Amino acid sequence: MRPRGAMALDLPCNLGVGGAVQTGFQFAVEQGFDRIVRIDGDGQHPPAEIHKLLQVMDRDELDLVVGSRFGLEQKCISTRFRYVGIRMLAGFLSRICRCSITDPTSGFWLVNRPLMNYFSQYYPTDYPEPEALALLRRQGYRMAEVPVRFRPRLAGQSSIRTWGAFYFAMKVGLALLVDRVRPINRMYAREGKIHSA
């Protein structure tokens, strides 16, 4: 990536997707950025639709806007098994977070500065997106989803293969369950409103 002019943070060891994204958040906080957009390297997230996320964030004063692959009548999930699993997780998360979530594992995120501060300290490892959504709601941050047209995957494989699905279900289920009873971290909660969701 460096030959094309992009700055790359080279981690000396493999921290997984959670650790890598958290490194990005820490770098953004240090450099003083206001907002950060996360785009995965497999080509699925369309940079052309970032303005949609920015519009929604400005309009509703949110801390996080998620680009969802559902809602524009397209099916990008490879197997029916994963499709059903993601729909179940989306329903469960919608109930916990009390807002409509259709794509819990989407990585196409636009994040505000206060939320960047929180994530640079506490970000889950191993399939972080669903757990991060539940955590940020608990700390009082506001989020919304925007339907976005995803592109087909250019390179790489999904991180959830056959047996990974069971580990994913177990890990996310346990994490969501425990996060319901975890103490709220007052230092990183959104000022003005703590959601005891």
Radius of gyration of the chain (CA): 16
The partner residues of 150 in beta bridges, in order of sequence, read none
- Say whether residue 13 binds other proteins (CB under 8 A): yes
- Say whether residue 98 binds other proteins (CB under 8 A): no
Q: Rounded CA gap, 36 and 194, in Å?
A: 23
Interface mask (CB under 8 A) for other proteins, residues 156-175, using x and -? --------------xx--xx
Q: Could you tell me which residues come within 8 angstroms of residue 163 by beta carbon, excluding any fewer than 6 positions away?
A: none
- Say whether residue 178 binds other proteins (CB under 8 A): yes
Q: Which of residues 76 and 184 has its CB atom nearest to other proteins in the complex?
A: 184
Q: Rounded CA gap, 176 and 96, in Å?
A: 9
Give me the least distance between CB of 146 and other proteins, in Å please: 30
- Say whether residue 121 binds other proteins (CB under 8 A): no
- Say whether residue 72 binds other proteins (CB under 8 A): no
Give me the least distance between CB of 47 and other proteins, in Å please: 31
- Say whether residue 125 binds other proteins (CB under 8 A): yes
Give me the least distance between CB of 177 and other proteins, in Å please: 9
Contacting positions for other proteins (CB under 8 A):
12-14, 125-126, 170-171, 174-175, 178, 181-182
